Structure 1
């Protein structure tokens, strides 16, 4: 395992609800991260095709005009767009943690993929519980996605947005000796409504995760420019003090910020060099699943079995759950030479 690993985390604006164009932008960011020497690049929540902010800014009746188009531009995990991204990961020899709005038949899921540097999907997970109004558009995941992936540079995991406020979800990740964590966030910040919906709260939750878990945390998030807000009919007031709300950064295992914030409306990659010795140093003080745990008093049981709506015994297994999507590793990848 290398002494130091260079990573990149994304702060950028998707081409709102345009899957093809945002895929093109994804490939550019992957290539930029690789040129910058990164071994891993982290993307925001529902990066493809963009976070559906209309859920928070429009009434249910007004959302109707968005929903059909959002479905059509959401991601088939075995479709051409993911195939291109996998090929890019292999061509650039970089791991990719990708946030998507996943489309499976008539249902959408807030999903994350961890793709290795050979283009193989090593993890396909879905947000366990969509948050508040998200539940009107997205389905629920299952425990099969609560996994940490072994990589040549450390144990990598990821969660979406308010999963970082769910103590048992976090503990399930800590218990797997997670060393590098991707915290994927959307673009909004609504200070007039509730502090927990602000960018400051997103950073606080991410920093707390780093301190609790004794791991590096990569904060990836979207920005929405005034042009993007106008295109979607979103009032700029919902975006903190104006357009932007970008907060991408990296925290060390002791909670210290390792990078400076970009401007709130700036697009770019945030790079950092991680040394896993810092994980050992942090956990020497407090290891939540080791010397600082009390398993004799507290015990967490996590059901990581995949859930499917129907068991059709006369048919092959289907991709009814994230864990059942084994076809990923069998997909032929086009030559990148």
Structure 2
């Protein structure tokens, strides 16, 4: 059956100098603007609220303690004021929203992706499974429970953040759940043109391999923001370029002109008949798979630091931890 969903990949700059809610308000404003263009799925950049930790890329760890603590103060709790604001905007516009946030869970920050359904319900809260390079000094690790495709008003949605796309098994875990729309998020304004070039290759390849649409959003820093974050002209270069906000079809085709600088929206209509057209020729988890030769073990058990034996219904999949000397 023919089905068309209008999607928007939103390239946008954060609000750096407030309590963290300024960026969330900007997200909501963009949601209402997208609704005026009949958008039913909006994707925002990686850890956009309150902002991506650019400081960790250009400063040594022993110098960014103050900035890291500031990020703790402004980080998002789930549920909390930020998720309430975005949920209301999603509900009022009848829109599915994919948002990247810095999530605070007591003493740890996580790179978290939230999928809001058009009712405002949070369908998925997932954490980046392995922070990349400098990010390991900022965020904790997620687990396999977040590698989940969810049914939304816009279709079956999966999501990964940034270099998680270079983990082929993470991508395959989502493919096996038959994602129809893959929502990708990158920080943007980082590393330079080579990052944008790599991003294009990555998202177009996933679209082809998964046979799904990819909606990719990157952030954008203004010149004033770059100067403020860098504090030294010699450090400004790594905070420019690296933007490639785009929408890709299951055939690997760019459905609209990508956005590589400035704020704006890339909007395209996703015709779901293209999914079947692609998978008729090559279905990576169906007729093109050879599971008797190659298969994936996916541990979807949440990583919980403690299990209480007095819980009335302890999950039978949880095995007790034993010492080396025990059988």
Q: TM-score, normalised by structure 2?
A: 0.90
Match of 2:268 in 1: 272
Would you say the 8 A contact 1:51–1:187 is kept in 2?
A: no
Q: 1-side partners of 2:175 and 2:51: how far apart?
A: 29
Match of 2:226 in 1: 229
Match of 1:310 in 2: 306
**Are positions 1:216 and 2:217 aligned together?**
no
**CA offsets 1:102-121 (integer angstroms, 9 cap, x no match):** 00111000011111111100
Gaps of 5+ in 2: 314-327
Per mean C-alpha deviation after superposition, the further-off stretch among 152-161 and 89-98 is 152-161
RMSD after superposition = 1.8
Q: 1-side partners of 2:161 and 2:290: how far apart?
A: 28
Report deviation, 1:16. 2.4
Would you say the 8 A contact 1:48–1:74 is kept in 2?
A: yes
Per mean C-alpha deviation after superposition, the further-off stretch among 147-156 and 107-116 is 147-156
Q: 1-side partners of 2:82 and 2:162: how far apart?
A: 24
Would you say the 8 A contact 1:12–1:221 is kept in 2?
A: yes
Match of 2:170 in 1: 169
Report deviation, 1:244. 4.9
Q: 2-side partners of 1:306 and 1:167: how far apart?
A: 21
Match of 1:293 in 2: 289
**CA offsets 1:246-285 (integer angstroms, 9 cap, x no match):** 31110110111111023x3310111100011101111112
Would you say the 8 A contact 2:192–2:242 is kept in 1?
A: no
**CA offsets 1:97-139 (integer angstroms, 9 cap, x no match):** 1101100111000011111111100111111111111111100
Report deviation, 1:314. 5.6
Would you say the 8 A contact 1:17–1:49 is kept in 2?
A: no
> What stretches of structure 1 move > 6 A for 4+ residues in a row?
none
Q: 2-side partners of 1:174 and 1:80: how far apart?
A: 33
Match of 2:28 in 1: 27
Cα pair distance change 1:306/1:59, threshold 3 Å: same
**Are positions 1:282 and 2:295 aligned together?**
no
Would you say the 8 A contact 1:144–1:303 is kept in 2?
A: yes
Q: 1-side partners of 2:298 and 2:199: how far apart?
A: 25
Per mean C-alpha deviation after superposition, the further-off stretch among 39-48 and 229-238 is 229-238
Gaps of 5+ in 1: 318-337
**Are positions 1:255 and 2:252 aligned together?**
yes
- Summarize the alignment of residues 1-337 of structure 1 with structure 2, pairs less than 5 Å apart: 3-16=3-16, 18=18, 19-191=20-192, 195=194, 198-233=195-230, 235-239=235-239, 243-262=240-259, 264-313=260-309
Question: Matched residue pairs, number?
Answer: 309
Would you say the 8 A contact 1:86–1:119 is kept in 2?
A: yes
Report deviation, 1:299. 1.2
Would you say the 8 A contact 1:219–1:249 is kept in 2?
A: yes
Would you say the 8 A contact 1:17–1:50 is kept in 2?
A: no
Q: 1-side partners of 2:308 and 2:75: how far apart?
A: 27
